[in-house]
Amino acid sequence: MAIQGWTAVAYWVGAGIILVGMVGGAFLPERRHQRRVYWYSWLVGGTLLVVILSGGELRWTVAFALPLALLAVAIAYFKSPYIKIGGKIYAASLENRQPDPPREGEPAADPVPWPEDSYGHLTPATVWWTLAVFLTAVAVMVVDLGWTSRSVWAAGVTVLFFGSVGIADGRGRFPRFRRQYAPAVVAFLVSIPMFMAPTALYLLTYELGRLLPATSRTTAESASPSTELR
């Protein structure tokens, strides 16, 4: 349907609600309030956008609602501590996984342990599943387009990135793939269209990294946030 007149106004109002909720909510003093504003803004603004874009048709409602919901969850997971289920926070960053500061008069919750094999503020699982998903997207591009300039560039960047991860794992004296075997298997399988270059380079640079001077491992004490969580 054409977006014009009052429809256009409603569309931009919905988008504005989401933007204000994402940006403005972060200035609230308490994390629990930030979380509520974030999700309510997506619920209200996203519903308005879906109603405008779908024109009331069920198939288009699903077609627009699902990507918006996935986008809201992805942003919350990678950029915030806003996904909280059953008292547990799910986030890519270990800093964002720390429990909410206690309310006045409540005891503080135990901090989430900081694994020694983390990639900075990211858990090994987060890094390796992200690598697996990204590599899958590049493999689909290679299969669909063949070896064009775009697919060669994307594959080359991916291969180099796997190589840098291998160097880091080897120098840190971590186990291969930091024991993330499930996403490693996925990465191996989807790298077949790229002649298994990403995983092959990872294994090669991992062994080379072990020949280099070892880097110190990140511990919970040294990697813990230096600023107080809000």
% of the chain residues with pLDDT over 70? 91
Extents of the domains making up the chain: 6-90, 124-211
From residue 193, give the alpha-carbon distance in Å to each of 3, 141, 143, 209.
42, 10, 7, 26
Cα separation, 51 vs 54, whole angstroms: 5
Tell me what the mean pLDDT of segment 199-207 comes to: 96
Tell me what the mean pLDDT of segment 43-72 comes to: 89
pLDDT digits (tens, 9 = 90+) for 9-39: 888 898 999 999 988 888 888 888 999 999 9
pLDDT digits (tens, 9 = 90+) for 53-63: 887 788 888 88
Check residue 41 and give its pLDDT.
95
pLDDT digits (tens, 9 = 90+) for 89-98: 999 899 999 9
Check residue 168 and give its pLDDT.
94
Check residue 3 and give its pLDDT.
59
**What is the 8-class DSSP label of residue 146?**
-
% of the chain residues with pLDDT over 90? 56
Cα separation, 211 vs 209, whole angstroms: 5
pLDDT digits (tens, 9 = 90+) for 96-116: 999 988 877 778 788 888 888
Cα separation, 230 vs 225, whole angstroms: 12
* CB-CB contact of 11 with 49 (8 Å): yes
Check residue 217 and give its pLDDT.
56
